């Protein structure tokens, strides 16, 4: 019974889809199947998975945090500024993660203490954090602090703040026991969130809030605390994504990740999380994120230009959601028909008894 | 005072006037007809996109593909003009592309019931990709002069596009006020179940809303191509988010059913005027996003506190009336009892 339920789950279908995807892409281009390449190509889209994992929490509560792409850029710029200011790279990264988490906390407080829709709030902070990230180096430079890095303004405009130590760039390139470090961190982060979401009271609160926030409040769920924590974690996830991206490109830019809102939300929704809140799993988001990433890699490897990728991703998103809705409606109708039929039989049976 | 506070459009407009005069005091140049004309011209695109987006938001929907639709229409317009298509036909073609792009969203949202944010996020990617595929990823740089000429036409010292935009908004206001089926946008957004029981054609209403959003985005694309004179790949990038911000500032409720084209107009004008002011005060361009975000947050927070205060005042006044009523009843009972005791004695 448990096994069949597991086999019927969306996560299992996703995993099958992922395997099929890799096999199909491999059949077309055998070079794609090299295990090492498969593992290392995740570096190209790890930030999407980090952000998507964190966003799963806020979407489960029936909200959304679209500011995470800006938080990535903000984190990146903070690392750059910290490094230029002469901080140790580890300290700069720590500072950046703190800043990103505080950005999430800001969202959380705003969402918890007003009745404004999270989409509106995080739309505002999307602009605000992004604008601060873009404007901060300019202000600091105006104040007499050489914020553009050693190479000066024109180099900054072209490639961001550079000149990081070798070890920082290596961080995302190295591996432990054959697994790239970013991938290990993704699994650890996913495990942490999964335990939090599926094994703690806090996790149950998030689902309850997503199903019916008012009812959750009247039942005594600490709605405000739970929401604040969810959005803070969303900020943390985006901050880690920003650190990874900065290390991967070995340059700090305010617009890192700014174009990736579509694949991030696609990963969450494809992973089975209901955009209206109340359901979803971390595993689903993880598999869907890898699926989308490999799809992109595969399309590029097949010689499709990167322009086509958003067309395919967007199409996939719409078709999957529409198909899931159709299946759900079909199932409901079938159940209704069954119920009606058994009810009719019952009524007929009762009639028969009366006659005899 | 209460009525003023509740009239969001008027409040934002007054704030806008105060700010314009304030900047004018710092640098009087800002108030010159030339600079004000520039502000008006640069606001047109966001105003058009916002009014289109408003129809969708009224139905409690959301369309994040309007910027991409604008980009796609602009590319089609540019390509058509470069292929030698006559100007009116090319513009018509761009508008048709906008309507079709909107119709795709309509099919997904109204018929397949895909949540609006998912549907339009998907088409956002699709339209942006299509736009790049059509041009091979490069900008359309040489646009024939005939369309650029449109942006230079003036009437009474004001550019023709401004008049056209104002006329379109006036028309939208009139239609939404006087034309009965146009009220359905409000009904569907305010209470979909209620609208269903009233026999309102919900599907058709939602369908039309997304088509209007596409149509207005295409109009914005025409203005863009005429004003700018070339089509970069970033055309319309982020317009959807700016339009949503404009709507919220103007007082259109994202939970549907509240707002007019005037709200969208005022909100967009406010955002773009602030942008122009920042440029005028020589603040670097990249701060305009941060300022826009902060304005949005302050506006919604202020709105929230205001609603709370109004609610509280209503509750208090209701309580006062109730207490007075109780007092009256009590004294009447008291008087009655006293009367009885008198009779008995």
Written as six digits, the tokens of B73 are 């229409």
Vertex B189 angle, CA B185 and B195, to 5° = 80
Pair (A185, A202) in one structural domain: yes
pLDDT value of position A307? 78
More confident position, A139 or A1:
A139
> Rounded mean pLDDT of B228-235?
78
Flag if A314 and B126 touch (Cβ within 8 Å).
Answer: yes
| pLDDT tier, B275 (very low <50, low <70, confident <90, very high otherwise) | confident
Strand partners, B158: B155
Tell me which of A304, A322, A337 is where a domain ends: A304
Task: Note which residues in 19-48 of chain A have CB less than 8 A from chain B.
Answer: none
| pLDDT tier, B103 (very low <50, low <70, confident <90, very high otherwise) | very high
Residue A194 domain boundaries: 2-304
Q: Which of A1-5, A35-39, B167-171, B212-216 has the highest mean predicted lDDT (pLDDT)? A: B212-216
Res. B261: pLDDT tops 70: yes
Q: How far is B306 from chain A (nearest CA, A)?
A: 12
State which H helix or E strand residue B159 sits in: strand B158-159
> Rounded mean pLDDT of A152-179?
73
Res. A33: pLDDT tops 70: yes
More confident position, A269 or B24:
A269
Q: How far is B281 from chain A (nearest CA, A)?
A: 15
Dihedral, B330, B336, B342, B345 alpha carbons, nearest 10: -100
List own/partner pairs for B275-283 with CB under 8 A and 24 or more apart: B275/B42, B276/B35, B276/B38, B276/B39, B276/B42, B277/B19, B277/B20, B277/B23, B277/B30, B280/B23, B280/B27, B280/B29, B280/B30, B280/B35, B281/B23, B281/B26, B281/B27
Chains A & B: contacts with CB separation below 8 Å: 142
Residues B267, B304: Cα–Cα separation, whole Å: 17
Contacts of B309 (CB under 8 A, 6+ apart): none
Flag if A269 and B132 touch (Cβ within 8 Å).
Answer: no
- Considering only CB atoms, which chain B residues are within 8 Å of A130? 289-290, 293
Flag if B122 and A318 touch (Cβ within 8 Å).
Answer: yes
Instruction: Name the pTM for this structure.
Output: 0.84
Res. A315: pLDDT tops 80: yes
pLDDT value of position A144? 65
Q: Look at residues B162, B189, B210, B177 and name the one whose alpha carbon lies nearest to residue B48.
A: B162
Asked if A183 and A42 count as a contact pair (C-beta separation under 8 A), the reply is yes
Task: Tell me the C-alpha to C-alpha distance, in Å, between residue A123 and each of A49, A264, B56, B248.
Answer: 21, 16, 18, 11
A126–chain B Cβ distance below 8 A for any pair: yes
> Rounded mean pLDDT of A283-293?
91
Tokens 């499709």 label which residue? Answer: A304
> Rounded mean pLDDT of A148-176?
71
Strand partners, A175: A180
Asked if A289 and A271 count as a contact pair (C-beta separation under 8 A), the reply is yes
Tokens 């509560």 label which residue? Answer: A61
Pair (A281, A329) in one structural domain: no
Res. B34: pLDDT tops 70: yes
Q: Hey, is B140 helix, strand or coil?
A: strand
Question: A27-36, A132-141, A248-257: which has the minimum mean pLDDT?
Answer: A27-36
Pair (A158, A37) in one structural domain: yes
Question: A305-309, B122-126, B315-319: which has the minimum mean pLDDT?
Answer: A305-309
Res. A163: pLDDT tops 80: no
Q: Look at residues B99, B84, B38, B30 and name the one whose alpha carbon lies nearest to residue B280.
A: B30
Distance of CA A328 to the CA centre of its chain: 25
Res. B303: pLDDT tops 90: no
Pair (A316, A278) in one structural domain: no
- Considering only CB atoms, which chain B residues are within 8 Å of A318? 108, 114, 118-119, 122-123
Pair (A112, A258) in one structural domain: yes
Which residue in chain A is spatially nearest to B131 when comparing CA positions?
A307
Q: How far is A66 from chain B (nearest CA, A)?
A: 11
A157–chain B Cβ distance below 8 A for any pair: no
Which residue in chain B is spatially nearest to A270 when comparing CA positions?
B118
What total of structural domains would you count in chain A?
A: 2
Pair (A189, A324) in one structural domain: no
pLDDT value of position B276? 82
Res. B345: pLDDT tops 70: no
Q: How far is B326 from chain A (nearest CA, A)?
A: 30
Residue A356 lies in a domain: no
Domain range annotation of chain B = 2-283
pLDDT value of position A2? 66
pLDDT digits (tens, 9 = 90+) for A188-212: 999 999 999 889 999 899 999 999 8
Distance of CA A138 to the CA centre of its chain: 30
Q: Which of B115, B125, B288 sits opposite A276 (nearest CB)?
A: B115
Residue A63 lies in a domain: yes
Q: How far is A204 from chain B (nearest CA, A)?
A: 24
More confident position, B94 or B28:
B94
Written as six digits, the tokens of A224 are 């405000």
Vertex B226 angle, CA B220 and B230, to 5° = 100
Q: Which of A132, A305, A314 sits opposite B125 (nearest CB)?
A: A314
CATH number for the domain spanning A143: value is: 1.10.3470
pLDDT value of position A209? 92
Pair (A332, A283) in one structural domain: no
How many residues are listed for chain A in this entry?
356
pLDDT digits (tens, 9 = 90+) for B318-337: 888 888 999 999 988 888 88
Pair (A183, A323) in one structural domain: no
Residues A236, A230: Cα–Cα separation, whole Å: 10
Q: How far is B127 from chain A (nearest CA, A)?
A: 7
What's the first-to-final CA gap in chain A, in angstroms? 41
Q: How far is A129 from chain B (nearest CA, A)?
A: 7
Residues A101, B335: Cα–Cα separation, whole Å: 67
A259–chain B Cβ distance below 8 A for any pair: no
Any idea what DSSP says for residue A273?
A: -
> Rounded mean pLDDT of A51-73?
92
ipTM of the complex: 0.81
Pair (A25, A75) in one structural domain: yes
Asked if A224 and A112 count as a contact pair (C-beta separation under 8 A), the reply is yes
Asked if B267 and B50 count as a contact pair (C-beta separation under 8 A), the reply is yes
> Which class is B2-283 in CATH?
mainly alpha
Res. A52: pLDDT tops 90: yes
Average pLDDT, chain A: 85
| pLDDT tier, B344 (very low <50, low <70, confident <90, very high otherwise) | low
Question: A105-109, B41-45, B51-55: which has the minimum mean pLDDT?
Answer: B41-45
> Rounded mean pLDDT of B199-214?
87
Task: Tell me the C-alpha to C-alpha distance, in Å, between residue A131 and each of A83, A127, A304.
Answer: 21, 6, 33
Res. A112: pLDDT tops 70: yes
Pair (A82, A217) in one structural domain: yes
Question: A111-125, A169-183, B138-152: which has the minimum mean pLDDT?
Answer: B138-152
| pLDDT tier, A355 (very low <50, low <70, confident <90, very high otherwise) | low
A174–chain B Cβ distance below 8 A for any pair: no
| pLDDT tier, A148 (very low <50, low <70, confident <90, very high otherwise) | low
pLDDT value of position B211? 93
> Rounded mean pLDDT of B108-122?
86
Which residue in chain A is spatially nearest to B248 when comparing CA positions?
A120
Residue A36 lies in a domain: yes
Tell me the residues of B at the A interface, defined by beta carbons under 8 Å apart: 62, 108, 112-115, 117-119, 121-126, 128-130, 132-133, 137, 241, 244-245, 248, 254-255, 284, 286-294, 296-297, 300-301, 303-304
Q: Which of A135, A138, A262 sits opposite B124 (nearest CB)?
A: A262
Question: A69-83, A95-109, A292-306: which has the minimum mean pLDDT?
Answer: A292-306
Pair (A282, A315) in one structural domain: no
């Amino acid at each position: 019974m448990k096994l069949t339920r597991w086999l019927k789950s969306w996560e299992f279908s996703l995993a099958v889809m992922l395997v099929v995807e890799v096999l199909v892409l491999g059949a077309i281009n055998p070079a794609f199947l090299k295990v090492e390449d498969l593992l290392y190509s995740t570096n190209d889209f790890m930030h999407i998975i980090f952000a998507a994992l964190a966003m799963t929490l806020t979407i489960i509560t029936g909200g959304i945090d679209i500011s995470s792409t800006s938080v990535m850029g903000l984190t990146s710029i903070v690392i750059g500024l910290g490094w230029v200011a002469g901080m140790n790279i580890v300290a700069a990264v720590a500072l950046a993660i703190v800043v990103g988490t505080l950005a999430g906390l800001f969202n959380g407080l705003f969402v918890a203490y007003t009745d404004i829709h999270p989409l509106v709030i995080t739309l505002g902070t999307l602009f605000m954090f992004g604008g601060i990230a873009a404007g901060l180096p300019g202000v600091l430079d105006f104040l007499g602090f050489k914020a553009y890095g050693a190479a000066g303004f024109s180099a900054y405009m072209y490639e961001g703040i550079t000149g990081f130590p070798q070890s920082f760039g290596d961080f995302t390139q190295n591996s432990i026991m054959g697994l790239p470090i970013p991938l290990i961190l993704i699994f650890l982060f996913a495990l942490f969130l999964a335990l939090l979401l599926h094994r703690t009271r806090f996790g149950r609160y998030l689902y309850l809030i997503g199903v019916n926030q008012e009812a959750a409040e009247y039942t005594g769920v600490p709605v405000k605390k739970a929401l604040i924590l969810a959005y803070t974690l969303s900020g943390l996830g985006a901050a880690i994504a920003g650190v990874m991206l900065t290390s991967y490109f070995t340059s700090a830019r305010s617009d890192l990740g700014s174009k990736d809102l579509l694949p991030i939300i696609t990963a969450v929704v494809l992973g089975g999380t209901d955009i209206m809140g109340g359901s979803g799993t971390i595993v689903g988001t993880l598999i869907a994120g890898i699926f989308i990433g490999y799809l992109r890699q595969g399309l590029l490897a097949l010689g499709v230009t990167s322009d086509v990728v958003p067309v395919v991703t967007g199409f996939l998103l719409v078709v999957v959601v529409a198909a899931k809705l159709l299946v759900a409606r079909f199932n409901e109708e079938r159940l209704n028909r069954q119920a009606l039929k058994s009810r009719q039989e019952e009524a007929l049976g009762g009639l028969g008894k009366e006659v005899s | 005072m209460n009525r003023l506070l509740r009239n969001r459009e008027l409040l934002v407009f007054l704030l806008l006037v105060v700010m314009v005069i304030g900047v004018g005091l710092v640098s009087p140049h800002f108030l010159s007809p030339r600079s004000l004309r520039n502000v008006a011209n640069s606001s047109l695109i966001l105003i058009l996109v916002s009014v289109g987006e408003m129809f969708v938001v009224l139905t409690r929907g959301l369309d994040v593909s309007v910027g991409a639709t604008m980009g796609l229409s602009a590319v089609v317009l540019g390509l058509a003009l470069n292929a030698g298509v006559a100007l009116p036909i090319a513009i018509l073609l761009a508008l048709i592309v906008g309507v079709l792009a909107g119709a795709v969203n309509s099919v997904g949202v109204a018929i397949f019931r895909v949540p609006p944010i998912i549907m339009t996020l998907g088409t956002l990617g699709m339209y942006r990709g299509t736009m790049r595929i059509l041009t091979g990823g490069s900008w359309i740089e040489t646009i024939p002069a005939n369309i650029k000429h449109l942006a230079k036409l003036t009437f009474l010292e004001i550019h023709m596009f401004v008049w056209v935009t104002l006329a379109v908004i006036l028309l939208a206001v009139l239609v939404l006020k006087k034309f009965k089926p146009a009220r359905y946008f409000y009904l569907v957004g305010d209470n979909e179940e209620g609208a269903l029981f009233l026999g309102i054609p919900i599907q058709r209403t939602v369908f039309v809303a997304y088509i209007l959003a596409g149509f207005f985005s295409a109009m914005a694309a025409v203005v863009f191509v005429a004003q700018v004179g070339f089509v970069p790949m970033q055309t319309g990038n982020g317009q959807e988010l700016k339009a949503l911000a404009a709507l919220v500032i103007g007082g259109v409720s994202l939970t549907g059913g509240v707002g007019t084209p005037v709200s969208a107009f005022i909100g967009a004008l406010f955002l773009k005027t602030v942008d122009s002011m920042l440029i005028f005060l020589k603040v670097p361009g990249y701060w305009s996003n941060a300022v826009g975000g902060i304005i949005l947050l302050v506006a919604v927070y202020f709105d929230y506190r205001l609603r709370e205060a109004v609610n509280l005042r209503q509750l208090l006044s209701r309580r006062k009336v109730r207490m007075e009523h109780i007092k009256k009843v009590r004294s009447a009972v008291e008087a009655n009892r006293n009367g009885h005791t008198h009779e008995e004695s």
